A and B are shown apart, each in its own frame.
Chain A
Amino acid sequence: MTIDKGISPIEFRLDPSSGVPTYLQLVQQVEHALRLGYLKPGDQLPKVRDVVASLTINPNTVLKAYKELETKGLTAGRPGQGTFIQAALTQVALPELGGLRRSMLDWLASADAAGLDESGVGALFTSVLRDFYKDHGRAADGGAAAGGETEGVA
């Protein structure tokens, strides 16, 4: 068992078979860690060098991920010190979450009644999700690099 008492509460890992570009995996892992509470505002992200050394990836990839996080407003770089979390992800209030949950269950019941099985539901959901964020999410981000979300849909 190795414990790396580094400067950051989190450690990245990569999933080479996920098909998601490397830098995006890093971005997603930071967002996921924020959501789950592993990271709080003020915490430091792993130093670029440490990420490069532990994952054997290109430093430009790490820099790209960190820049993306900065663009999203989640992090801020302090020169000479590192990259720090500066905002929490917008939390949705608990009552709202409950409401969203209920409407999802209703929809699932209709889908089930229509004859869609679990993977069918998943495929439909994924494609609509992509469509939605393609039109809404990308415009909001602005300035995102051409790489990454290349999925076009029929």
Chain B
Amino acid sequence: MNVIETTGLGKRYGKEWALRDCTLTIPEGRLAALVGPNGSGKSTLMNMAVGLSVPTEGSAAVLGVKPVGSRAALDGIAFVAQDSPVYRNLSVGDMLHLTRNLNRRFDDAAARARIADLGLPLKKKAGKLSGGQQSQLALTLALARRPRLLILDEPLASLDPLARQDFMTTVMTAMTDDGVSVLLSSHALAELERVADYLVVLSRGKLAVAGETDDLLASHRVLTGPAEAADSYAQRLSVIQDKRAGAQAHLLVAASGPADRVEPGWEAHPVGLEELVLAYLRAPGGAPAAAPSPALVSHIQPTEAAR
């Protein structure tokens, strides 16, 4: 089952399209990382996935349910928005009680145990907790609802490294214990390689690339070789990024097969996640001219110019 399926999803605010033409299929059981710079449409996509906003065009289904925002979808999805909103004047205990009353399904015992583990006093006002503690509280409340899909909007942005690790450990163990699927948006590319097994890259409101992390890493490589041969070689490849010096050129390409033969005189190197994402983000107008075979990569959007 796919936890999120969108078809040509778009959202316009006034004259500006915050997201356009987004077609995604995120399978269950993954941690899908939504990456992209500010204003790339991450929050817009998430807000539509949780039913906080309505698409201008296209459609979205979550947990196989349409429309998004229906009771079944709300039941199965837990959302922690940016800066972990909670009612600041309510105590931790009150937030527990409130969440319990607003949901069909709530594991009160597990939530209380976790709160105790975290050392959060039940009587303390939520607004007086530290940033990391608020995030953990919001996460605890979300997970206690036993969702099938957990959606986290920039959960690590205002956390120190220790808090970040604690937070992600909680998410990872929830995935292990309960089989929760996760969609999280983040700027922190370096840390994503360990945790994300599905990647969605957005740039300027458009989908740049999406797919299983392993597949993406396997299907991209950097080819290093002589600069004068670069142009002719590049014609036959899907080049994402082209870096050249006087004599040497590095081409980051999407390959159509792992056993793609490399031309003599050229060396192939594997690509790291951060390098890959940055290359797609910097690519003008999106992605390469030719799309690699769909068997390996879930989705790459051709550029406007190349169409």
Give chain A's interface residues, CB within 8 Å of chain B: 14, 16, 19, 21-22, 48-49, 52-53, 55-61, 145-148, 150-154
Would A58 and B195 count as touching, CB distance under 8 A? Answer: yes
Would B29 and A147 count as touching, CB distance under 8 A? Answer: no
Contact of B165 among A56, A146, A154 (CB under 8 A): A56
Q: Can you show 27 pairs from A to B with CB atoms below 8 A apart?
A: A16-B193, A19-B270, A21-B214, A49-B173, A49-B176, A52-B172, A52-B176, A53-B173, A56-B169, A56-B195, A58-B195, A59-B172, A60-B29, A61-B197, A146-B215, A146-B218, A146-B258, A147-B215, A147-B217, A148-B218, A150-B218, A150-B270, A151-B268, A152-B268, A153-B262, A153-B268, A154-B264
Q: Bound complex: CA of A57 vs CA of B176, how far in Å?
A: 10
Q: Bound complex: CA of A36 vs CA of B134, how far in Å?
A: 45
Other than A53-B169, A56-B194, give 13 A-B pairs with Cβ distance below 8 A: A19-B270, A21-B217, A49-B177, A55-B194, A56-B172, A57-B172, A58-B196, A61-B194, A146-B215, A146-B296, A150-B270, A152-B268, A153-B262
Q: Bound complex: CA of A71 vs CA of B215, how far in Å?
A: 20
Q: Is B74 an interface residue (CB 8 A)?
A: no
Query: What band does the interface of chain B fall in when counting residues whose beta carbon is under 8 Å from A?
Result: 35 or more
Of residues 168 to 225 in B, which have CB atoms within 8 Å of A's CB atoms? 168-169, 172-173, 175-177, 193-197, 214-215, 217-219, 221
| 5 closest cross-chain pairs (CB), A and B | A147-B214, A152-B268, A59-B176, A146-B218, A154-B267
Q: How far is the CB of A14 from chain B (nearest CB, A)?
A: 7
B246-275 vs A, CB cutoff 8 Å, 1 = contact: the mask equals 000000000000111010111111101000
Among A21, A49, A55, A148, chain B packs the most CB atoms within 10 A around the CB of A21
How many A-B pairs with Cβ below 8 Å? 83
Q: Is B299 an interface residue (CB 8 A)?
A: no
Chain A residues lying within 8 Å of B29, measured Cβ to Cβ, are 60
Contact of B175 among A14, A19, A58 (CB under 8 A): A58
Give chain B's interface residues, CB within 8 Å of chain A: 29-31, 165, 168-169, 172-173, 175-177, 193-197, 214-215, 217-219, 221, 258-260, 262, 264-270, 272, 296
Chain A residues lying within 8 Å of B214, measured Cβ to Cβ, are 21, 145-148
Chain B residue at minimal CB-CB distance from A151: B270
Chain B residues lying within 8 Å of A19, measured Cβ to Cβ, are 270, 272
Chain A residue at minimal CB-CB distance from B270: A150
Q: Bound complex: CA of A154 vs CA of B268, how far in Å?
A: 7
Chain A residues lying within 8 Å of B266, measured Cβ to Cβ, are 154
Contact of A52 among B173, B193, B221, B296 (CB under 8 A): B173
Chain A residues lying within 8 Å of B168, measured Cβ to Cβ, are 56
Chain B residues lying within 8 Å of A22, measured Cβ to Cβ, are 193-194
Would B258 and A150 count as touching, CB distance under 8 A? Answer: yes
Would B169 and A59 count as touching, CB distance under 8 A? Answer: no
Q: Bound complex: CA of A16 vs CA of B168, how far in Å?
A: 16
Would A57 and B194 count as touching, CB distance under 8 A? Answer: yes
Q: Bound complex: CA of A129 vs CA of B214, how far in Å?
A: 23
Q: Bound complex: CA of A55 vs CA of B270, how far in Å?
A: 24
Chain A residues lying within 8 Å of B173, measured Cβ to Cβ, are 49, 52-53
Q: Bound complex: CA of A56 vs CA of B196, how far in Å?
A: 11
Q: Bound complex: CA of A21 vs CA of B271, how far in Å?
A: 11
Chain B residues lying within 8 Å of A60, measured Cβ to Cβ, are 29-31, 197
Chain A residues lying within 8 Å of B195, measured Cβ to Cβ, are 56-58
